[in-house]
Homo-oligomer: A and B are copies of this chain.
Amino acid sequence: MQLEISPEVWSSFKFFGSLLLLKMVAMSILTAIQRFTHKVFANPEDVAHDKKNCKVIYNHPDVERVRRAHQNDIENILPFFFIGFLYCLINPVATTAILLFKVFTASRYIHTLVYAVYPVRQPARALAWAVGYGINIFMAVQVLLSAL
């Protein structure tokens, strides 16, 4: 058989998938900015250029906060890439699929904002996380049912 996909679902998946990828890899830059701002690094060779002011430490709160946000992307966005692709291929209703991709992407951008850019009080982060999490589970259940 050949893999069949609706053109509008595929186009939407490529659009939101690449937006999510760009957001996710931006976390590396955000981490680097925190490291250079606070002059804290994770390896001896990274501080060799300025041993006076730079330190090797692993518990700077601003650095670790961005790293936790990055890790949360790894735990949620990478699974989305997989299950979202399978979901594209089980012939979902196009408007539903596009809505899910859109809301998932928004929830992950908001998650990063309220976690790593401008921390606000809970439950902001918990809600942003839960929306994306629920969408991953919804798609996984649909894919599972389609394979029975």
Q: In residues 24-67 of chain A, which contact B (Cβ within 8 Å)?
A: 24-25, 27-28, 42-43, 45-46, 48-49, 58-59, 65
A109 CB-CB contact with B under 8 Å: no
Chain B hits for A59, CB < 8 A? 58
Copies in the complex: 3
Residues of chain A at interface, number, CB under 8 A: 57
A4-B2, A5-B3, A45-B120 in contact; A70/B79 too (CB < 8 A)? no
With the chains together, A140 CA to B25 CA distance in Å? 10
Chain B hits for A133, CB < 8 A? 25, 28
A-B pairs, top 7 by smallest CB distance, nearest first, are A15-B147, A14-B147, A18-B144, A81-B82, A18-B143, A18-B140, A21-B140
> Known contacts A17-B82, A18-B141; can you find 18 more A-B pairs with CB under 8 A?
A1-B4, A1-B10, A2-B2, A2-B5, A14-B86, A14-B90, A17-B86, A18-B83, A18-B86, A21-B82, A21-B83, A22-B140, A27-B75, A45-B119, A45-B121, A46-B122, A49-B122, A74-B74
